[in-house]
Amino acid sequence: MVRAGLTAERVTRAGAELADEVGFDQVTVSALARHFDVKVASLYSHVKSSHDLKTRIALLALEELADRGATALAGRAGKDALTAFANVYRDYAREHPGRYAAAQLRLDPETAAASAGVRHAQMTRAILRGYDLAEPDQTHAVRMLGSVFHGYVSLELAGGFSHSAPDSQESWSRVLDALDSLLRHWPTA
């Protein structure tokens, strides 16, 4: 019998919390069953498999990131928008490392197209409109920003910048200044 109060949403949120505690790779239906003190079979009423659970956590993380991004971007443009958006990713990764890792999960095309990942791309393109980039340069810039944000945040989370001065915040600010300058002076092919 399924324990009262368990729903797909509650299981997903508990999985997201577990991901933040122990790492996204460690999240399984079995681990969640232990968390809820129920039999594994009880959770299969709410999720199909560990992959389904991880996909649900990824979708939750993408939604949370998109909501934060939209709030941060409201009324901003140019470098201010770029900085606000970048800080959303960095802050989210620091607060929710497991969920941030989940947001990187490769989704099947249909799931990806229906996810909040689409909103992320739209927000990035909205920022880039302030830099007057046309296609295909806009797509190149979207990919560059995503790569720089994710690369920096991943290295920082792994402790890669904690061994020397200056403080990583100072470097982060310099990276964002450099991105803004590059976007304002985008090289033409």
Complete DSSP assignment for 112-172: HHTSTHHHHHHHHHHHHHTTTPPTTHHHHHHHHHHHHHHHHHHHHHTTTTTTSSSPHHHHH
The one-digit pLDDT tens for each residue of the chain (189 residues) are 345 578 999 999 999 999 999 999 999 999 998 988 888 888 888 999 999 999 999 999 999 999 999 999 999 999 999 999 999 999 999 999 999 999 999 999 999 999 999 999 999 999 999 999 989 999 999 999 999 999 999 999 999 998 889 999 999 999 999 999 999 999 876
For the chain, how many residues are written? 189
CA distances from 155 to 6, 87, 151, 160 (A): 36, 15, 6, 5
Nearest to 5 by CA among 39, 34, 61, 43: 43
The whole model's pTM is what? Answer: 0.91
Q: Is 182 helix (H, G, I), strand (E, B) or coil?
A: helix
pLDDT at 1: 39
Answer for the pair 69, 88: CB distance below 8 angstroms, yes or no. Answer: yes
